[in-house]
Amino acid sequence: MTWRRLLLLGSASTLFLFLVFTLTPIVSPLPRYTGPHEVGVLDVETEVERRRIWDARIKETGEPAFDLNTLAITLYYPSIPRPKTPGTKQPLARPWLPQPISLIGTGYARMLGIHWPPAQSLLTGILWLLGSSTVIPGIVDAPLIPASDAILVDPEKAAIVEPSEPLLKDADESKEDMERLEVRRNPSGTDKLPVVVFSHGMAGMSQSYSHYLGSIASHGYVVAAVEHRDGSGPGTIEHYANGTSKSVWHLQLQDLEADPPMTLSTLKTAQLSFREAEILETINFFSLLNSNTDQQKIKNLKPDSPEKTLPTFSSRLDLSQITIIGHSYGATGALQALRRASKSKPQASKNNINLPTDATITGGISLDPGKASGPLNTHIPCPLLVLQSGEWTNKAPSTDFYGLGPHWRVVRDLVANVPSKKGWFMTIPGTAHPSVTDAPLIVPWIMKMVTGTTLDAKTALEEYVDVSVRFLEYLRSGRKEGVLASEVTSEKGPLGKEGERGVVDGEAGGKWEVHVVPEE
């Protein structure tokens, strides 16, 4: 054991232990959600009216590239734990990585320009090794939180008994009943639940933001994360009612053919139009779910995904309170869809969908909008919250944005000029573009090394959740609380002097630069 061997052995051991301890979250469950409720999780795919959003074809197969055939979403909703059947384990939500993992591995390989099958298999193996044990901390197909303020659970039958006042009184007073029935309280006594539609970013998936969305759901909201089929994700599978299926891969400009040929600008227009259609179809799905009857049963086309809980959403959704949220490419898509919040709704065309008559979009949250995802829709006829990461605000702040001036100023002016004058724009320093995703929680050391963040990943996500939930509560009550009650602290942001960039403390330990607040 020479000193060189000792040095080599010590260095290797130190590196190994460092990697083990810092990469442990890869094989550990994500943190519990921040709200008072348990969370149910359910993958749903349903048929929609088939329509062609953009006329282009995939060179590889000759198939249409932008045909909307089915709607795929992941539901996150406030729940109660499913009663346990004796001798069985409480089911966890599906794995964080969608199944089959080979689809996602191949999809990411194709995005990287890797088409050699052995190399694609190698990337799939790495994904399986690192992420196959990580699960979303919710319960698959768990019962929706009851409308009443209490429920009764019969552990022997693993059933939920709808309570009545006499039954609750009997359960409270009878020792025999208390041995059989367990009273569980709904802390909010919620009847109608407001709804949220979420649009993921480029190369993202519906579960990539599970902690952010699940935490919103844990505060009493029903959230649908769209699995976009616009060619922006790594890969997804469309399932049809006749039992067939088709893989949808990531699309780049060179993968498409059209007459006239598509440009990068028209590709973005096509994808954003596709996303808007999927967002509107999700709202239509909520409307159908809310009015669901035995004669109008929703068929879940997602393989091995249950549908037992779906009928219990009937008459439980508050469609007068719909919020659209998006991140990155999805943030730009959400801003585009928010034009549908106007009372003078545009007429549907063959490529588009109108809102149901019982649905109203009341607000939107845009997380890191614009930049490479295209110009921003400025017709926002509802309250708006724009949250930017420190990286998104500070990186190349003076770069021209589609001939309109610096990106930060374009976003500030968009929020300041919301017709309702009810807009917030703020930045959370120490964060990066992926900070609102699950990635920093799963691989914190890697993400910190790659992105250079200085704010703890869990703290950052708790801040995103807190401010978002405060905004959702504001839409319902009109009350400004937490950071939303702050005055402007950084009027010029990255375009001003360093000493002019004041901050306000967040609830979870982070700080916020507040650029725009509503006019009184």
pLDDT digits (tens, 9 = 90+) for 203-235: 899 889 999 999 999 999 999 999 999 999 999
| Pairing assessment for the beta strands 38-58 and 64-79 based on DSSP bridges | antiparallel
Q: Which residue did the predictor score with more confidence, 191 or 79?
A: 79
pLDDT of residue 20 exceeding 50, the answer is no
Q: Which residue did the predictor score with more confidence, 372 or 132?
A: 372
Q: Which of 5-9, 153-157, 199-203, 324-328 has the least mean pLDDT?
A: 153-157
In this structure, how many other beta carbons lie within 10 angstroms of the beta carbon of residue 76?
Answer: 32
Nearest residue to 56 via CA among 347, 259, 280:
259
Distance between CA atoms of residues 175 and 278, nearest Å: 52
pLDDT of residue 413 exceeding 80, the answer is yes
Distance between CA atoms of residues 388 and 219, nearest Å: 22
Q: Which residue did the predictor score with more confidence, 269 or 169?
A: 269
Q: What is the pLDDT of residue 296?
A: 65
In this structure, how many other beta carbons lie within 10 angstroms of the beta carbon of residue 440?
Answer: 27
Average of pLDDT values for 46-75? Answer: 96
Q: Both tokens of residue 448?
A: 């910190």
Distance between CA atoms of residues 233 and 199, nearest Å: 11
pLDDT of residue 386 exceeding 80, the answer is yes
| Pairing assessment for the beta strands 150-154 and 182-185 based on DSSP bridges | antiparallel
pLDDT of residue 69 exceeding 90, the answer is yes
**Is the distance from CB of 502 to CB of 460 less than 8 angstroms?**
no
Distance between CA atoms of residues 334 and 20, nearest Å: 39
What is the topology classification, in CATH, of domain 31-96+134-145+190-382?
Rossmann fold (3.40.50)
Q: DSSP code of 372?
A: G
Q: What is the pLDDT of residue 190?
A: 58
What stretches of 174-311 adopt beta strand conformation (E)? 182-185, 193-199, 222-226, 235-239, 245-249, 256-257
Q: DSSP code of 39?
A: E
Q: What is the pLDDT of residue 254?
A: 93
**Ramachandran angles phi, psi of 381, nearest 5°:** -85, 40
Q: What is the pLDDT of residue 182?
A: 46
**Is the distance from CB of 39 to CB of 217 less than 8 angstroms?**
yes
Question: pLDDT-derived band of residue 172, with 50, 70 and 90 as boundaries?
Answer: very low
Question: pLDDT-derived band of residue 444, with 50, 70 and 90 as boundaries?
Answer: confident
- Which residue type occupies 218? S
Q: Please report, rounded to a whole number, the percentage of residues in the chain having pLDDT higher than 90.
A: 58
Average of pLDDT values for 417-435? Answer: 96
Q: Which of 96-110, 235-249, 465-479 has the least mean pLDDT?
A: 96-110
Q: How many CA atoms lie within 13 A of 326 on its CB side?
A: 29
Q: What is the pLDDT of residue 343?
A: 64
Q: What is the pLDDT of residue 111?
A: 86
Distance between CA atoms of residues 139 and 145, nearest Å: 13
**Ramachandran angles phi, psi of 477, nearest 5°:** -115, -20
pLDDT of residue 458 exceeding 80, the answer is yes
Distance between CA atoms of residues 78 and 214, nearest Å: 9
Q: What is the pLDDT of residue 333?
A: 97
Handedness of CA 85, 134, 202, 338 (dihedral sign): positive
For tokens 């034009």, name the residue: 339
Q: How many CA atoms lie within 13 A of 437 on its CB side?
A: 24
Whole-Å CA distances, 433 to 238, 328, 478, 504? 29, 8, 30, 21
Q: What is the pLDDT of residue 173?
A: 45
Q: What is the pLDDT of residues 295-336, one digit of tens each?
A: 467 899 999 888 888 988 999 999 999 999 999 999 999 999
Distance between CA atoms of residues 122 and 129, nearest Å: 10
pLDDT of residue 188 exceeding 60, the answer is no
Nearest residue to 221 via CA among 436, 457, 476:
476
**Is the distance from CB of 54 to CB of 66 less than 8 angstroms?**
yes
Asked, as a colleague might, if the bond just before 83 is cis with ω within 30 of 0, I would say no
Q: Which residue did the predictor score with more confidence, 231 or 7?
A: 231
Domain boundaries, given as residue ranges, for the chain:
31-96+134-145+190-382, 150-185, 390-520
User: Is residue 385 helix, strand or coil?
Assistant: strand
- Sequence-distant (≥ 6) Cβ neighbours of residue 455 within 8 angstroms: 390, 428, 429, 430, 431, 435, 510
Q: What is the pLDDT of residue 349?
A: 47
**Is the distance from CB of 502 to CB of 489 less than 8 angstroms?**
yes
Distance between CA atoms of residues 513 and 502, nearest Å: 6
Distance between CA atoms of residues 263 and 270, nearest Å: 10
With b for 16 or more beta-carbon neighbours within 10 A and e for fewer, the 250-274 pattern comes to bbeeebbebeeebeeebbbbbbbbb
Q: What is the pLDDT of residues 98-141, one digit of tens each?
A: 878 888 888 888 888 888 888 888 888 877 776 667 788 888 88
Cα angle value 274/279/280 (rounded, 5°): 100
Question: pLDDT-derived band of residue 181, with 50, 70 and 90 as boundaries?
Answer: very low
Q: Which of 166-180, 261-275, 482-496 has the least mean pLDDT?
A: 166-180
Q: What is the pLDDT of residue 130?
A: 65
Average of pLDDT values for 400-415? Answer: 95
Question: pLDDT-derived band of residue 433, with 50, 70 and 90 as boundaries?
Answer: very high
Q: Which residues are catalytic?
A: 328, 368, 433
**Average pLDDT, whole number, for the chain?**
84
pLDDT of residue 293 exceeding 70, the answer is no
Question: pLDDT-derived band of residue 247, with 50, 70 and 90 as boundaries?
Answer: very high
Q: Specify the DSSP element, H or E, that contains 264.
A: helix 264-290
